[in-house]
Chain A
Amino acid sequence: MLPKFQLAEPGSIDEALELMKDEVDRPILMGGGTNLLVDLRNRGKAAGRLAWLGRIPELRRIEVTKDRVVLGARTTITDLLRRAELETAGPSLLHSARMFAGHMIRNAATVGGNICYGSPAADVVPPLLSLDAELTLASPSGQRSIPLQEFLTGYKATARRPDEILTSIGWPRPPAGAANMFHKLGLRKGDAITVIGVAVTIAVENGHCSLARIALGAVAPTVLRAKGAERLLEGERLTSAVIAEAARHAAQVCRPIDDLRASADYRRHTVEVLVRRLVARAWEQACVAHPRDRSAIRATGG
């Protein structure tokens, strides 16, 4: 049984913001409820008030234009799977959606909820970081945008202010010559919490890596970017030696924990292996996508 609570069902963002003005009885926001309701059940004590955002149509949308993608924050994981354009506009995100929990959870869980919950194992977050995603938050006093990276401030902690609602998530479409991919290591393929999640973007120009993004999930209190490793790749021709060095660097910035799914040592070791493999694969794919740079593939030595 769930503990007692009141439930508001705002029908618009304005109605929801009106509720957020109430400092005394400010509601806990609920997207799909797949984390929140489980937590409330475990906690067992009365929860005051929730606000379910599921009756606000404008929060559930996917806009794909020539150069940008925007998701309403209450877009579900299943909604992502039904948008074929994401195959090129957000391939790593689409891949993570396929690996996300189980079928019924994918129907309920939302992209915005997965971000705002602040879990380091959140499956949509490494892909969105690798895509340079930006969040838009609304509050009774206005609206602001913040890079996803700055939003993640700690374990289950975010930069969302108490009266703010995450309304949308946007990112620039990856350029034609870029490869963007995700790998989830779990104990099973389905219905599994991530042991390590790695998302990578590699763009190539004139035989050199023009842009590198490496995002790591479940290996630190927040999902994080391996910026040092990215800098080792950018501007370089990605030989296996360069990739191996960047992967070592990425493993060094992790601060993993021991838990029932894996030891910290295993995570540190394996994150290096996964980064190395994923960057090599992304480099190869980016070079193939960029015909002039096909000759660069040979540099990696397979």
Chain B
Amino acid sequence: MVIEKQVTFIVNGRRHKVGLPAHRTLLEALRDLGYVEVKCGCEKGDCGACAVLLDGEAVDACLTLAWQADGAALTTVRGLAKPGMEHPLHTAFIQTGAVQCGYCIPGMIIAAKALLEEHPDPTDEEIRRGLSGNLCRCTGYVQIFAAIRSAAVALRSEGELT
């Protein structure tokens, strides 16, 4: 017998209440709700393609049970900026050519967001550590590092203006 529980969470500002069994991962639950920007990669916490922010902390959605997110606020790569708007991280990834096949990028940008919250002016070592759970098999990471440095500058000057 599979027992479902009513799980409530907020995704990108929108509240959801869904009945889910205990073994449903947050990754499956989010994709079923249409948040298909959250990607399924290795399903064992190595690649980071499924990273989302759970109450501000980056987690691998493939290793998080949906029940664990009950009552939490979640952010996917689409939720970093208002609908139709670009977050400085989005802009920087596009402008520096940090995207090739693109599959790792939703998780990469979520990890980068968590990194810049903790280190607004990160050293290369801090970027390396911040991205240590995200694999990209296309780019070799050089442009991804450049994008994060450039977004950091943009976010800091934005912070100074407001």
Least CB distance from B136 to A in Å reads: 12
A-chain residues with CB within 8 Å of residue B133 when the two chains form the complex? 101-106, 190-191
User: Which residue of chain B has the shortest Cβ distance to A98 in the bound complex?
Assistant: B129
User: Which residue of chain B has the shortest Cβ distance to A40 in the bound complex?
Assistant: B23
Q: Number of A residues contacting the other chain (C-beta, 8 Å)?
A: 30
B132 and A190: CB pair below 8 A? yes
Q: For chain B residues 43-79, which have a beta carbon within 8 Å of chain A?
A: 43-46, 48, 51, 57-60, 63-65, 67-68
Q: Number of B residues contacting the other chain (C-beta, 8 Å)?
A: 34
If A6-B3, A7-B22, A102-B48 touch, does A107 touch B57 (CB 8 Å cutoff)? yes
Contact of A38 among B21, B45, B57 (CB under 8 A): B45
Cβ of B154 under 8 Å from chain A: no
Cβ of A156 under 8 Å from chain B: no
Cβ of B30 under 8 Å from chain A: no
User: Which residue of chain A has the shortest Cβ distance to B5 in the bound complex?
Assistant: A7
Contact of A34 among B21, B23, B45 (CB under 8 A): B45
Cβ of B128 under 8 Å from chain A: yes
B-chain residues with CB within 8 Å of residue A1 when the two chains form the complex? 23, 28
Least CB distance from B148 to A in Å reads: 13
If A2-B25, A3-B23, A105-B45 touch, does A37 touch B129 (CB 8 Å cutoff)? no
User: Which residue of chain B has the shortest Cβ distance to A50 in the bound complex?
Assistant: B22
B59 and A108: CB pair below 8 A? yes
Least CB distance from B8 to A in Å reads: 14
Contact of A103 among B3, B63, B111 (CB under 8 A): B111
Cβ of B10 under 8 Å from chain A: no
Cβ of B131 under 8 Å from chain A: yes
Give Cα A34–Cα B43 distance, bound, in whole angstroms: 11
User: Which residue of chain A has the shortest Cβ distance to B131 in the bound complex?
Assistant: A103
Cβ of B130 under 8 Å from chain A: yes
Least CB distance from A77 to B in Å reads: 11
Contact of A189 among B65, B111, B128 (CB under 8 A): B128
Contact of B65 among A3, A33, A34 (CB under 8 A): A33
Cβ of B2 under 8 Å from chain A: yes
Q: Mark A167-206, 1 if CB is under 8 A from B, else 0.
A: 0000000000000000000000111000000000000000
If A37-B63, A101-B132 touch, does A6 touch B68 (CB 8 Å cutoff)? no
Q: For chain A residues 224-241, which have a beta carbon within 8 Å of chain B?
A: none
Give Cα A92–Cα B122 distance, bound, in whole angstroms: 24
The 14 sampled A-B contact pairs (Cβ below 8 Å) are A2-B24, A7-B67, A33-B64, A50-B22, A98-B129, A101-B132, A102-B132, A103-B111, A103-B131, A103-B133, A104-B63, A108-B59, A108-B63, A108-B64
